[in-house]
A and B are shown apart, each in its own frame.
Chain A
Amino acid sequence: MSAYFSDVLTLAQKDLRLELRVRNTVPAMLLFVVSALVVFHFALPAGSSDLAAKGMLWVAIVFTALLGLGRAFVAEREQRLLDGLLLAPCDRSAIWLAKTVSVLGFLVVAELVALPAFAIFFSGIDGATIAGVALADLGICAVGTLLAAMAVAGRARELLLPLLFLPLAIPIVVGGVGASVADDPGRYLGFLALYDAVFAIISWASFEYVVTE
């Protein structure tokens, strides 16, 4: 058991270290999310409510996450580095978990900028929204990492990932927007937790099959 988690830690550390060296994914995500928020300002005509803006926040988060997820397995595929990980005795699902953790880290960093930016450009963020973002991030990264591994197995991988991801992201958006705007955020947060639990488990269990050639 502890060997499993030490593998996850080793792999996650590797991803973080690579990002710190190369520094291309996180800055891109940061810039993207702020640019997106600016675009949304121009996309919301006069008379649009605060609530419409809150909805747009979730669109920004989903597409920023897509940007990060698109980079997740690129090195592993281009240089065949996934072979190196698959040869190792570690459990395949540990690779998934480590990648999910590192993508989650990048997304959280992007949101640490995005949420204050949103509060400045549009309106304040309450606790329910933050809780929604936290729960949604888990779901996005869990499912997204698995789908990124799928997309990278084929041709046209940059095109494929958004197509695979968006239908599965719809419930996340519903949960998140609901938590931000509804009077009773608890129900939506509960739904997000359900989504996270269900999809994290099946992603964890099925990763092994996705990487078998």
Chain B
Amino acid sequence: MIRARGLGRSFGAKRVVRDLDLDVPRGGFLLVTGPNGSGKTTLLRLVAGLLVPTAGELEVDTTRERVGFLGHEPLVYRELTALENLDLYGRLYRVPERRERIGMLLERFGLWDVRNERADSFSRGMLQRLSLCRTLLHDPELLVLDEPFNALDEEGSSLLDRELAELRPGATFVVATHDPDRVEHLASDRLAFA
């Protein structure tokens, strides 16, 4: 599903991703590890389509509406409520039965009670959970997750564990994490950045 040959990405003079070859089959789970600033985030943004390569080629065999991306920023509007944020994305992604799906996700991630609160009143952990709802809202077939366990407490982390296990068979994953042991059992491929 994802195929890269000699993939490179520079920012100005700095080459962050250099000469990378990659093959991730449909249904695979690529686990990306490496220290901060090594290029993990850049690779994930390339795969999600937020960056274009400056060298080499990258093919991702899916459309934008089937990609779910979780980055370092939660990508939610602070002055809108959780519900309004998800409704916005639901409309943009043309999610069928939008209201029901939003309700279900909010409940699964323990945010139902705060659905009418503005996102600027959320803690970092709650924002991460809301961001996860946003990522999963449109039932993506490719999930690109950049340090998804960041900021999550025990409860949030186990919720995410459960979700990942459930979604594993039906989707392809590219996950970057500082805590590889947590998802090691799900991975089919590994990529370590130096």
Which residue numbers of A lie inside 8 Å of B, CB to CB?
3, 6-7, 10-11, 14, 17-18, 21-22, 75, 79-81, 83-90, 212-213
CB contact under 8 A between A17 and B84, given known A80-B73, A87-B67, A88-B89:
yes
Chain A proximity of B157: nearest CB distance (Å): 24
A85: which B residues are within 8 A, CB to CB? 92
| Complex: chain A residue closest to B9, CB-CB | A213
A11 to B88, CA, bound (A): 8
CB contact under 8 A between A79 and B73, given known A10-B88, A10-B91:
yes
CB contact under 8 A between A81 and B80, given known A212-B52, A213-B52:
no
Chain B proximity of A82: nearest CB distance (Å): 9
- B49 interface residue, CB < 8 Å from A? yes
CB contact under 8 A between A87 and B49, given known A10-B92, A81-B75:
yes
A85 to B89, CA, bound (A): 9
| Complex: chain A residue closest to B84, CB-CB | A17
A89 near B93 (CB under 8 angstroms)?
Answer: yes
CB contact under 8 A between A87 and B77, given known A6-B91, A14-B88, A80-B71:
no
A88 near B92 (CB under 8 angstroms)?
Answer: yes
A17 near B63 (CB under 8 angstroms)?
Answer: no
B73 near A83 (CB under 8 angstroms)?
Answer: yes
A3: which B residues are within 8 A, CB to CB? 94
Contact count A vs B, C-beta below 8 Å: 64
A80 to B45, CA, bound (A): 13
| Complex: chain A residue closest to B144, CB-CB | A87
A83: which B residues are within 8 A, CB to CB? 50, 69, 71, 73, 75
A7 to B64, CA, bound (A): 15
Chain B proximity of A81: nearest CB distance (Å): 6
CB contact under 8 A between A84 and B65, given known A17-B84, A79-B73:
no
CB contact under 8 A between A87 and B48, given known A17-B80, A18-B79, A75-B77:
yes
A22 to B80, CA, bound (A): 10
B51 near A213 (CB under 8 angstroms)?
Answer: yes
B92: which A residues are within 8 A, CB to CB? 7, 10-11, 85, 88-90
A18 to B76, CA, bound (A): 12
B77 near A14 (CB under 8 angstroms)?
Answer: yes
B80 near A87 (CB under 8 angstroms)?
Answer: no
B50 near A86 (CB under 8 angstroms)?
Answer: yes
List 9 extra interface pairs beyond A79-B73, A81-B75, A83-B73, CB under 8 A: A7-B91, A80-B71, A80-B73, A83-B50, A83-B69, A87-B69, A88-B93, A89-B94, A213-B51
A113 to B117, CA, bound (A): 34
Interface string of B141-157 (1 = CB under 8 A from A): 00000000000000000
A86: which B residues are within 8 A, CB to CB? 49-50
A17 to B78, CA, bound (A): 12
A18: which B residues are within 8 A, CB to CB? 77, 79-80
A6 to B51, CA, bound (A): 26
Q: List 6 A-B contacts (CB under 8 A).
A: A18-B79, A80-B73, A85-B92, A89-B92, A89-B93, A212-B52
| Complex: chain B residue closest to A18, CB-CB | B79
Chain B residues 33 to 88 lying within 8 A of chain A, measured CB to CB, are 48-52, 63-65, 67, 69, 71, 73, 75-80, 84, 88
